[in-house]
Amino acid sequence: MEHEEARTRVIIEGVEPEINSGRFPIKRIIGDKVVVEADIFADGHNVLSAILLHRKEGDLNWNEVPMEFLANDHWRGSFVVSELGHYQYTFVAWVDRFKSWQQKLAKKVEADQDVSMDFLEGAQLIEEASQRARKSDAGNMQKWAESLRSNQVSPSAKAKLALGNKVTAVMAKYSDKRCAVTYPKELVVVVDRGKAGFSTWYEIFPRSCMSEAGHHGTFKDCERRLPYISEMGFDVLYFPPIHPIGYTSRKGKNNTPKAKPDDPGTPWAIGSKEGGHKAVHPQLGTLEDFRRFVSKAQEYGIEVALDLAFQCSPDHPYVKEHPEWFRWRHDGTVQYAENPPKKYQDIYPLEFETENWQELWEELKSVAIFWIEQGVRIFRVDNPHTKPFAFWEWLISEIKKDYPEVIFLAEAFTRPKIMYWLAKLGLSQSYTYFTWRNAKWELTQYFTELTQTDVREFFRPNLWPNTPDILNDYLRDGGRPAFMTRLVLAATLGANYGIYGPAFELCENRRKDKESEEYLNSEKYELKQWDIKSPSSLKDFIALVNGIRRENPALQSDLTLCFHSVDNDQLICYSKRTEDLSNVILVVVNLDYRYKQSGWVDLSFEELGLDYDQPYEMHDLLADSTYRWQGARNYVELDPQKIPAHIFRIHQGITKSRNYRIMRKRG
């Protein structure tokens, strides 16, 4: 054992957050406060000191923040992340000999014991520290040491000096850290831009934005759709793949095995003689049209997100240029995608285990870079769980080196451990099981797991009530009230959410058949003109909800989500709030799309920062009506034929008591 090892008595363990023993970073948004905690202790009865070290990755020097002792050997520290990229943090702790001495002295003084020896010991500690001190402090320190030794100074004056603020502050500056312990791991924070944590997505097929029925929509047509999308309040517009579509084995309407000559095929069968992943489908327009569209969208405050769907149609140029990137069958054909008994003959998966994997990975990276160069900074990643984990970790870290602002949304509708692992590897947001969670108990359980456990540190949920692949039973059976309910849930349970439109706002609920969740006449396989001006469209309701999200910062994060009890299983109630309680939102939703439901909510006042003895105002931002509530139990009643939800902003009038509450919460 090394000399120092034998003399370092401090243990640092139980660090939170720390994902997979520090193998993975935690995720934060620019401006966030990173709060970290650890158990720090030593043998014996000494007083410890601990600091949190943090720095931007690449900086030579650490910033030091003193840690605060909470209770039961548990300490806390925090720092703010103000730039995109990676931050590092770790801990240093030591037996603080001077503070220990002060504590002993104070106890002895209180018990009126003889402390003459203690003063000599303290003088020595101060003198030793003065050797490490700046000149400006060293002089004073020498004088203090002399006073503690002097026969001229009374014991009570010595005690007052030794325990005073001045000595304490200066001695803390020059604390003896020779036996300090440094936590052996440098933990990492990935800092993303705001949109990674708060975003409102709208998915459309650009080819369905045609101005006339039967025509193939173009980027130019999409430009005309921008005001409509912007008025609804979306800030991310996600396009399924915009590349040339293969001809071989192309699927027809409703996924029939053989396409008719004018069937457009699915956009996910990428690649034809007209090009592959870096080309634009000619019927949508040119690459220049796309770039123009991206900047037009920006004018509306909308970012365009593209699909990273790493798979090929049989006609993709890769198949001829790189046959080694595919898996060949014994009959000399390429193995198409299959999930027995399902077959996808129009799609060839890439063989990531090819001997030439490095070339393949580099090519795929160049695809992402290509679209970044066209102005894209958000990608929806198609089925990441069917490609190697190591590939995603490499790809994302490569891209974020130069473009730390890029956001990746994982379309990983797969098993929970795999979803979480992909998030740990670096995918910025993820689709969730929200799509199928309709009952109160399962929403409560799932969102508690997502927001109140370690999962919150690395997994950012993005909630989709529908997608082109999924029209769930609830929407099919519930129609318009169900669409309203699911919209409010997605938009308020999730700081990130999205809808697939115009199917959603037009409450499209016709299924292809009973077995699957596919839409009837899905636009995955055909051109489709939607009647977006339909008077029954939910567009105004969506605009209202998205406006509420924009105006209420409480809804722009998931970390404060808290469920409150309601004595009716068809009613769900939850709140979100800003850290300082200046914005507190309470949502109540009727999950029954058929009948009016009523019940008594029972609010957690502590969580909402409310005073028990004061009435408070509940301003329903959906109906724009205000209620006066008092006490924890209050009556609610929601009619799915009208508005199936309340989104309340809570106001409690008296300023003085509000300040008091904020203070308490911060403490």
Torsion angle in degrees (nearest 10) through CA of 142, 144, 146, 150:
180
Per-residue contact track with a second copy, 539 to 578, x per CB under 8 A? Answer: ----------------------------------------
Residue of the chain from 416, 547, 615, 653 that contacts a second copy (CB under 8 A): 416
Site membership for a second copy, residue 70 (CB under 8 A)? no
CA distance between the termini of the chain:
43
Site membership for a second copy, residue 330 (CB under 8 A)? yes
Residue of the chain from 299, 331, 402, 613 that contacts a second copy (CB under 8 A): 331
Site membership for a second copy, residue 386 (CB under 8 A)? yes
| 239 DSSP assignment | P
Site membership for a second copy, residue 5 (CB under 8 A)? yes
Type of residue numbered 47: V
| 402 DSSP assignment | H
Torsion angle in degrees (nearest 10) through CA of 555, 557, 560, 561:
60
Of 331 and 613, nearer to a second copy (C-beta) is: 331
Shortest Å, Cβ 456 to a second copy: 17
Three-class SS string for 63-116? EEEECEEEECCEEEEEEECCCCEEEEEEEEEEECHHHHHHHHHHHHHHCCCCCH
Site membership for a second copy, residue 353 (CB under 8 A)? yes
Considering only residues 291 to 320 of the shown chain, the ones binding a second copy according to CB under 8 A are none
Site membership for a second copy, residue 658 (CB under 8 A)? no
Taken in order 547, 549, 554, 556, the sign of the CA dihedral is negative
**Cα–Cα separations (whole angstroms), residue 61 to 25, 53, 182, 254, 489:** 20, 9, 15, 61, 45
CA gyration radius for the chain? Answer: 31
Of 47 and 559, nearer to a second copy (C-beta) is: 47
Shortest Å, Cβ 14 to a second copy: 8
Site membership for a second copy, residue 13 (CB under 8 A)? yes
- Over the range 526-556, which residues count as b (16 or more CB within 10 Å of their CB) and which as e? bbbbbeeeeeebbbebbbbbbebbeebbbbb
Residue of the chain from 207, 225, 387, 400 that contacts a second copy (CB under 8 A): 387
* 523 within 8 A of 467, measured Cβ to Cβ: no
411 has catalytic annotation: yes
Of 328 and 660, nearer to a second copy (C-beta) is: 328
* Site size for a second copy (CB under 8 A): 55
Shortest Å, Cβ 124 to a second copy: 8
Site membership for a second copy, residue 339 (CB under 8 A)? yes
- What are 439's two structure tokens? 């009952």
Per-residue contact track with a second copy, 121 to 160, x per CB under 8 A? Answer: x--x------------------------------------
Residue of the chain from 11, 47, 279, 544 that contacts a second copy (CB under 8 A): 11
Residue of the chain from 9, 132, 512, 619 that contacts a second copy (CB under 8 A): 9
Q: Candidates 151-159, 164-172, 331-339, 579-587 — which segment interacts with a second copy by CB under 8 A?
A: 331-339
Residue of the chain from 64, 68, 83, 338 that contacts a second copy (CB under 8 A): 338
CA neighbor of 264 nearest in space, from 219, 225, 208, 333: 208
Shortest Å, Cβ 397 to a second copy: 11
- What are 574's two structure tokens? 């939850």
* 225 within 8 A of 292, measured Cβ to Cβ: no
Site membership for a second copy, residue 177 (CB under 8 A)? no
Site membership for a second copy, residue 515 (CB under 8 A)? no
Of 326 and 391, nearer to a second copy (C-beta) is: 391
Whole-angstrom distance, CA of residue 187 vs CA of residue 189:
7
Considering only residues 396 to 415 of the shown chain, the ones binding a second copy according to CB under 8 A are 415
β strands within 119-196, DSSP E: 181-182, 187-192
Of 418 and 632, nearer to a second copy (C-beta) is: 418
Which of the following is catalytic: 18, 307, 382, 518? Answer: 382
Residue of the chain from 173, 329, 401, 633 that contacts a second copy (CB under 8 A): 329
Of 117 and 663, nearer to a second copy (C-beta) is: 117
Q: Candidates 29-37, 43-51, 208-216, 475-483 — which segment interacts with a second copy by CB under 8 A?
A: 43-51
Where do we find the tokens 């009570």?
A: 156
Residue of the chain from 214, 261, 340, 667 that contacts a second copy (CB under 8 A): 340
Considering only residues 92 to 121 of the shown chain, the ones binding a second copy according to CB under 8 A are 104, 107-108, 110-111, 113, 117, 120-121
Cross-strand pairs, 338: 343
Residue of the chain from 388, 547, 615, 653 that contacts a second copy (CB under 8 A): 388
Whole-angstrom distance, CA of residue 150 vs CA of residue 139:
16
**Cα–Cα separations (whole angstroms), residue 603 to 253, 440, 564, 648:** 51, 16, 6, 13
Site membership for a second copy, residue 357 (CB under 8 A)? yes
Site membership for a second copy, residue 421 (CB under 8 A)? yes
Shortest Å, Cβ 73 to a second copy: 4
CA neighbor of 202 nearest in space, from 543, 446, 445: 543
Q: Candidates 199-207, 245-253, 337-345, 576-584 — which segment interacts with a second copy by CB under 8 A?
A: 337-345
Residue of the chain from 65, 84, 172, 418 that contacts a second copy (CB under 8 A): 418
Phi then psi dihedrals of residue 528, to 5 deg: -150, 125
* 594 within 8 A of 600, measured Cβ to Cβ: no
CB-count exposure of residue 653 (10 Å: 0-12, 13-18, 19+): exposed
Residue of the chain from 69, 394, 433, 436 that contacts a second copy (CB under 8 A): 394
Where do we find the tokens 């793949």?
A: 241
Which of the following is catalytic: 411, 457, 523, 592? Answer: 411
Site membership for a second copy, residue 212 (CB under 8 A)? no
Per-residue contact track with a second copy, 18 to 37, x per CB under 8 A? Answer: --xx----------------
Torsion angle in degrees (nearest 10) through CA of 230, 236, 240, 242:
80
Between 165-173 and 135-149, two packed helices, what is the crossing angle to 10 degrees? 130
Residue of the chain from 8, 428, 537, 597 that contacts a second copy (CB under 8 A): 8
**Cα–Cα separations (whole angstroms), residue 547 to 226, 230, 491, 622:** 17, 11, 11, 10
β strands within 176-302, DSSP E: 181-182, 187-192, 199-203, 236-238
Shortest Å, Cβ 425 to a second copy: 10
Of 416 and 653, nearer to a second copy (C-beta) is: 416
Instruction: Indicate the pairing of strand 199-203 with strand 68-71.
Output: unpaired
CB-count exposure of residue 233 (10 Å: 0-12, 13-18, 19+): buried
Which residues of the chain form contacts with a second copy (CB under 8 A)? 1, 3, 5-9, 11, 13-14, 20-21, 39, 41-45, 72-73, 104, 107-108, 110-111, 113, 117, 120-121, 124, 329-331, 338-341, 343, 353, 357-358, 361, 385-391, 394, 415-418, 421
What positions carry a catalytic annotation?
Answer: 382, 411
